[in-house]
Homo-oligomer: A and B are copies of this chain.
């Protein structure tokens, strides 16, 4: 049994990690950490876990974590993870980092978006971007996984097949994204209290959201030239789920059947990507509570436009579910274990 721990166990992604890990037959959850006044039973922090998990949650200590675990999930804030990762890696631990700290390979871009210089360029280099659909082979051998952001997961999976097929303009990608409120984490701010979000809808950070460079990095890698998406996120009054409507300008006319065929072939062996048949569109509720990414397509032949809908649960395929999928791959477990 692999001994695993979660640092940052008190947030929404931490909670989801715990929920999955206690059902995972190949691991034992041995360590939970969060910022607390004093060590507290986890089921006191989250009464829903009473009778399901008997473990204390304590303040994070790298040494303690290393002593107790073979693999660590870090659900810490951006710019904090990189303080701890080098020590854990040095002690031979496997690390799956859910923050943004190891996602952007370019130091300058990291600093520009997260307003801090990167402190751990060595591990940044060897880390693997944990999108199994792109990097499964590298993940198998990795010690450090940069678990993708929620918006980027849906965006990249939605755009990959058509980009790689070379059928679209590199500069015509518009991503109209809508995210449930847990995407902001457990943020206590006026804009997130119930009466401000409920019965409301708004856009924010159009083209200046920190997930843009992550999407651009990964889509550029798989293309022959630089991709620079238009990324417009909106806040959706639901607890969970990301829904992205992606507008792709094609460089030649394409009919729907052909487009669906390209996507189905691309993902035919993927356990967690489901491409809809022509004429059917995915809904948020089909993926909430699951690790799936569902993709649906609409073709506008006249205007040579492909419209891709890509939906995920932001806390699962967009965070904790994908993190466990990565662990399963790294550790040679069945990739779907505890995720179906």
Contacts and interface: CB of A to CB of B under 8 A. Distances in A.
A217 B199 CA distance: 31
B282 A247 contact: no
A190 B230 CA distance: 33
A280 B50 CA distance: 13
A199 B298 contact: no
A12 B194 contact: no
Nearest to A275: B50
A154 to B, nearest CB: 13
A36 interface: no
A228 B287 CA distance: 33
Interface in A1-50: 12, 22-23, 47-48, 50
A178 interface: yes
23 contacts: A23-B340, A47-B282, A47-B286, A47-B294, A48-B285, A48-B290, A178-B178, A186-B195, A194-B198, A194-B237, A195-B239, A195-B240, A198-B239, A199-B238, A199-B241, A199-B285, A199-B288, A200-B238, A201-B241, A201-B243, A202-B282, A228-B302, A230-B303
Interface of A: 12, 22-23, 47-48, 50-52, 171, 174, 176, 178, 180-182, 186-190, 192-204, 206-207, 228, 230, 232, 234, 236-241, 243, 245, 247, 271, 274, 276, 280-290, 292, 294, 298, 300, 302-303, 305, 307, 309, 340
